[in-house]
Amino acid sequence: MVKLTIKENAYQIDFNKVDEGYLYGECICYAENVNKAKSELLSEVEDCKNYLGDDITYLNIPVIRCKSSDKVEFKGEVIKRYEVERKIRIEELNKKLDSYLTDSSITHCYIMKRGTYYGWNYSGYVSYKTFAGVYTKEDAVKECKNLEELTCVPINNTEHNELILNQVARIKKGLIAN
pLDDT at 94 over 90: yes
Q: Beta strands of the chain (E only): which ranges?
A: 5-13, 28-31, 63-65, 71-74, 77-80, 108-113, 116-118, 125-126, 135-136, 150-154
What is the distance between the alpha carbons of residues 41 and 66, in angstroms, rounded to a whole number?
A: 13
The per-residue pLDDT for 1 is 66
Is-contact 74 84, C-beta < 8 A?
yes
Q: Which residue has the higher pLDDT, 23 or 94?
A: 94
Quick one: 144 exposed, middle or buried, by C-beta within 10 A (0-12, 13-18, 19+)? buried
Give me the mean pLDDT over the 30-35 stretch: 96
pTM: 0.69
Give me the mean pLDDT over the 29-54 stretch: 93
- Strands 71-74 and 28-31, by their bridges, are unpaired
The per-residue pLDDT for 51 is 86
Give me the mean pLDDT over the 130-138 stretch: 96
Using CA atoms in the order 68, 69, 71, 77, what is the torsion angle rounded to 10 degrees?
A: 80
Q: Where are the domains of the chain?
A: 5-82, 103-172
The per-residue pLDDT for 105 is 96
Give me the mean pLDDT over the 147-172 stretch: 94
pLDDT at 89 over 80: yes
Q: Which residues contact 151 (CB under 8 A, 6 or more apart)?
A: 111, 112, 113, 144
pLDDT digits (tens, 9 = 90+) for 45-86: 988 998 889 999 999 999 999 999 999 999 999 999 999 989
The per-residue pLDDT for 178 is 74
The per-residue pLDDT for 67 is 94
Give the amino acid at 162: E
Q: Which residue has the higher pLDDT, 89 or 46?
A: 89
